[in-house]
Each structure stands twice: as C-alpha cells, then as structure tokens.
Amino acid sequence: MTQATSDLPAASAGDTAAGAAADGLQRCDVFVVGGGPAGSTIATLLARQGRSVVLAEKDRHPRFHIGESLLPANAALFERLGLREAVERIGMPKWGVEFVSPQHTHTSHLEFADAWDKSMPMAWQVRRSELDEILFRHAAASGATALEGCQVRTVDFDADGATVTARLADGAPARWRARYVVDASGRDTLLARRFDSKRANPAHNSAALFGHFTGARRLEGKAEGNISIFWFAHGWFWFIPLADGSTSVGAVCWPPYLKSRTKPLREFFDDTIALAPRLAERLQGATLVDGKVWATGNYSYGSSVACGERWAMVGDAYAFVDPVFSSGVYLAMASAFQAADLVATTLDRPRAAAAARRRFDAHMRKGPREFSWFIFRMTNPAMRELFMQPRNPLRTKEAVLSLLAGDIFGRTPIWASLTAFKGVYYLGSLLHPRRTWAAWRARRRNVRDLGALEGENVQPQAR
C-alpha cells in the first residue's frame, strides 16, 4: 500500500476532491465518519499525534441536536482538549439533579459535590449546536481535514485498510484510501448496519417528544441550571435550563402511550405535559420556540461488536441508552479517548493490537452496562423511593452520585457501595411484593416494538 501522507488539504470538501491522486483516491491514516462529540474528539487526538485524519460530517455546523446535559466527568476531557473555557462560555452551570415524583409531596435534590470524589462538583447544560461546532472546529484547528456536507456511502475493508466512498456537498463523488476507519456516525450506525451487528435493546424500549420553551420557571439561585427529572404515569420528563434563557423539555414515554395518539404531535405533547402537574406549573405562561415539537423513535440499542482489525465504533455508533442520566456526550467522548489509543497501537505496534482491541471492547461495554442497570429500573417504585429518600449507609449515596457524575472509568472505589445499593433495592422490592409484581407486569407490557412515530418530525438524536 502507498504510504499515507500528512499533507491533506484542510479546506473545503470541494478543494479536497480536487486534490485527489491520479488513481482517484485520496489517502489518509484515519478516516472518521461523523463530526459529533465522539468523531471530533478522536480526530483532534489523532491529528495531534501527527497523523493524517479526515473528519467527514454529513451536515453543516451549527446543526440542531438534542442532548444538552453534560456530566461532571466531561470537564476533565474538555481540559485535555484545551476547551474547558470555551465550554464555560456557552454553558449553564449544572451543580446537581432535582427529582420530582407524583407519589411524593417533596422534591429530592442531589448535588455532585456530595459524590465520592469531591473534585468533580459540576457540569454544564449546553446547546448542542454550539458545543458540537466548537469540537468540530477544534479538530480542524488541530490538523484534521474537517469536511462538512460529506455523506459517506460505503466502506470496503481489506487486509491493509479500507476504501471509503462519499458524496460531497456539491454532489461530486469522492474516494479515500484509509489505513483505519472510525465510525462516529451516531444513530446512523454505519458499520453496525454494515456488519449486521446492531441490536435493539430488548430490556428497554421508549421514545421521546421534546421542544424548547422560553419563559419557563426555573429553580432559584445556584440551582437554576440543575436538570430536573419529573416522573409521570407513562415515563419521565427532562427539564434542562440553557444559558440563553430557553429551556429544553422532553418526555420519554413507553410505546403503548405513544401509540394512543390521535391528534397532532404538538397537541399530544401539550396533553402529555398536563399529566405532570408540577412540570405544567413551571411551564405556565411559557412559549414553545417556533411552535416546534420533535419526536424520535426507540433509541435503546447496541452493537454486538465494537472494533475489528482496521475499524472501531465510538459513541452512539456503538450503543445508546435512555438519556435519563445524561450519559451520552460523556460516553461518546470517553470512547474517543480510548479509541485514539487503540488506533495508535494498531498503526504503530500491530503486534499489540489484539490486546488493545480487548481493552477497548471492555471499555465500550462497561459504560452502557453500568448506567443501564439504573436506567432500566428508574420507573420502578422501589428505585423511585431510593432517589426520593436518599440515604448514605456504606457510602451508597456517594457511590450513586459518582456514577451519575460519570466517574466509572477511574479508580474511585465505588463498586462495593454500588453493590450494597443494589442490595437495598432488591430488599425493598421483596418487602413490597404486590407493588413489585405490578411494576414488573407493567414493564413487560411496555417493552414492545415502537413503530409509532415514523414519518413525523422524527429525528434521530443522542444524549
């Protein structure tokens, strides 16, 4: 194979196509599909290593994306990228989480400063259009060839790498020869579909309706930027205050409720909000921005494989889980850091690549697994009681807050306490057998194929 070059033009997609080699193939070390948080992060890291990197985004930044709530563990990753100050400029400080239950007269407030590791006390709420553009432009400034309006069509692998075929913004075809391909295509799941490795999550099936409001009533003082979670009969709501004064509000619902819709989406969203009276109070007098409500279908899935000899999946291209704990951006960026090490090992020390793939696969499985145990039980009365009446025996509250902060890949010794918390949950379930049985039956009814929102403002998103 021809040696990859490091002088790919860092201009527009059209300019890059014009610079193609005589055989019609442009060459790079790594081709990254998707310019969201995962793709832009790994493109930056690999370009810093002096590698020739092409980062292809099918849309143009800034573009709308849901998923505005970050975790405290994101802060260290932004610092490593040199972007913490840029994120602070666009972000609303987020110090904790509020839980609101229809079965309780009080609300529960948890602060990240009370987690096991006290050095991660806060995160931010951000407009994803702004955050994603910051990350994408930073990748370009770091040396990656960052292309917008570049739609990848096919990826064909062989022993030496891959041939990538794409269509540029002006409609022209383009082809690259890459030594390695990173799939950061998000819910497009390019390689998972290519390898038929994508699987819907059989344990969790839901969809979301969401919009942005101005004039919503927020918490006061330091807590103004905190995310609020409202349980209701058919799922839960998020309430995310943004720095520009708007508030993101979304309902994550079970399929049977969504299939009951007999009216336009906006009216149905209004009716759904009315089912959570305390949320409705905070939205009294608020205005829906542009009158627009979005919907997205079932978004809980995973791939049976995370990497191969010349490719890796990062972020939502590998898996996505219910966004109740706002884990999406953090897991995406953390996977990009891990994948950067995998790519470097594969290209520079091929004899160590097999071991690196095993480490990467373990990393990719861990995040969704640890969050999912809690996510799958969030609508269970026993779990709701624990979040509404938090206690700290055996440091269980600190451990749960550490997980909610994203502190799951380091050395913080939370795992024994998390096991104890799970034991308390199971004990509480056993002590209320009728309630537990009713909750189990309801969940069994609710976990069904969705198929309810196709063709109506359905936009795949991630959080």
What residue segments make up the domains of the chain, in order of their start? Answer: 13-64+129-200+303-369, 93-125+206-297+377-463
Task: Give the pLDDT score at 255.
Answer: 78
CATH code of domain 93-125+206-297+377-463: 3.30.9.100
Task: Give the pLDDT score at 443.
Answer: 67
- Read off the pLDDT band of 258 (50, 70, 90): confident
Which of 224, 314, 253, 238 has the alpha carbon at shortest distance from 69? 238
Task: Give the pLDDT score at 9.
Answer: 34
Question: Is the pLDDT higher at 451 or at 220?
Answer: 220
- Read off the pLDDT band of 20 (50, 70, 90): low
Whole-number mean pLDDT of the chain?
90
Task: Give the pLDDT score at 22.
Answer: 58
CATH classification of 13-64+129-200+303-369 is 3.40.190.10, yes or no? Answer: no
- Read off the pLDDT band of 436 (50, 70, 90): confident
Q: Across residues 24-38, what is the average pLDDT?
A: 96
Give dist(CA 304, CA 312) in Å, integer.
Answer: 12
Which of 225, 179, 226 has the alpha carbon at shortest distance from 345? 179
Task: Give the pLDDT score at 205.
Answer: 67
Task: Give the pLDDT score at 448.
Answer: 58
**pLDDT beyond 60 at 130:** yes
Task: Give the pLDDT score at 438.
Answer: 82
Which of 127, 6, 148 has the alpha carbon at shortest distance from 68? 127
Domains 13-64+129-200+303-369 and 93-125+206-297+377-463 belong to one CATH topology: no
Q: Across residues 142-146, what is the average pLDDT?
A: 98
The share of the chain scoring above pLDDT 90, in percent, equals 79
The residue with tokens 């030496």 is: 160
Task: Give the pLDDT score at 14.
Answer: 40
With the C-alpha atoms ordered 163, 165, 168, 173, is the resulting torsion angle positive or negative?
Answer: positive
**pLDDT beyond 70 at 10:** no
**pLDDT beyond 80 at 4:** no
Count the Cβ atoms, other than its own, within 10 Å of residue 332.
Answer: 31
234: helix, strand or coil:
coil
Q: Which residues pair with 294 in a beta bridge?
A: 210
**pLDDT beyond 60 at 274:** yes
Write out pLDDT tens, residues 310-368: 999 999 999 998 888 999 999 999 999 999 999 999 999 999 999 999 999 999 999 99
H-state helical runs in 190-245: 190-194
**pLDDT beyond 80 at 82:** yes
Torsion angle in degrees (nearest 10) through CA of 431, 434, 437, 439: -90
Task: Give the pLDDT score at 5.
Answer: 32
Query: Among 78-92, 190-204, 334-348, which is the least confidently predicted range?
Result: 190-204
- Read off the pLDDT band of 447 (50, 70, 90): low
**pLDDT beyond 50 at 172:** yes
Give dist(CA 206, CA 204) in Å, integer.
Answer: 7
